Amino acid sequence: MKKPGAQAGLFLLLSELLINSVLGTKLTVGAPFNLLLVEWGSFRTYTEPVPWSLKRFHQSGQSHFVTFSCFERRPFLVTKRSRQIFEEALERIRRTYRLYVYGYVIMPEHVHLLVSEPERETLATALKSLKQGVARRLITGDTEHFWHKRYFDLNIRDSRQFAEKLDYVHHNPVARGLCADEDGWPWSSFHHYATGAAGIVEIESEWTANRRDRTAGKLCPAIELPHSSQKKA
């Protein structure tokens, strides 16, 4: 295999340093323009180029895959209360900034979101409000910071990439060894997709769209079918 030249090697080194500064975690860079994410015990490949200046491509009409971490990767999101507070804050910014939440997962020291761009303000403003709202309620007197300052933001460009990132979000706790399957982790949007059940955060999905249309009278009311074990009349 041909070894990269001095310029390519410098590019890889700077890319690694740049992404490490965003997530506050350890990333190693593979082939040029590719990232191999060593995410707390699991390996995932991101094939999208990393912009030099981490320019945010907002107001593009595209969905966004967003990751941000707790300060110094400390496990600040391990209690039921802390995770519920995050969900409440996420639902608040969904309503306030009028954005769609397609998926999310709350991990002990980081969060993944799959969201639309907001109708009000920019996504950066909405995320700042989300992080500040959570920090105000959870930060303790001996903790100087709750979140790492920066975050990773990837524009979703097609349906294949959307499905890939949504699967990644839901599979993250399994890859980490926190549960046996996706249904075993209640702090994500997986349960909604599997059952249609509404939680603290409204997830924009086919379930939600049908419920919205039914409420508006555009669909017939849902019919509860008899259980298969019931005797037929």
| Per-residue pLDDT reduced to its tens digit, 78-88 | 999 999 999 99
DSSP 46-65: E-SPPPTT-----SSS-EEE
* Residues in contact with 26: Cβ distance below 8 Å, sequence separation at least 6, in sequence order: 20, 38
* Residues in contact with 215: Cβ distance below 8 Å, sequence separation at least 6, in sequence order: none
- The answer to whether 61 and 169 have CB atoms below 8 angstroms apart is no
- Global pTM value: 0.70
**Between residues 195 and 16, the one the model is more confident about:** 195
- The answer to whether 133 and 117 have CB atoms below 8 angstroms apart is no
Q: Which fold has domain 56-203?
A: Alpha-Beta Plaits (3.30.70)
Residue 46 is predicted with a pLDDT of: 34
Q: What is the mean pLDDT of residues 201-207?
A: 96
Q: What is the mean pLDDT of residues 14-22?
A: 43
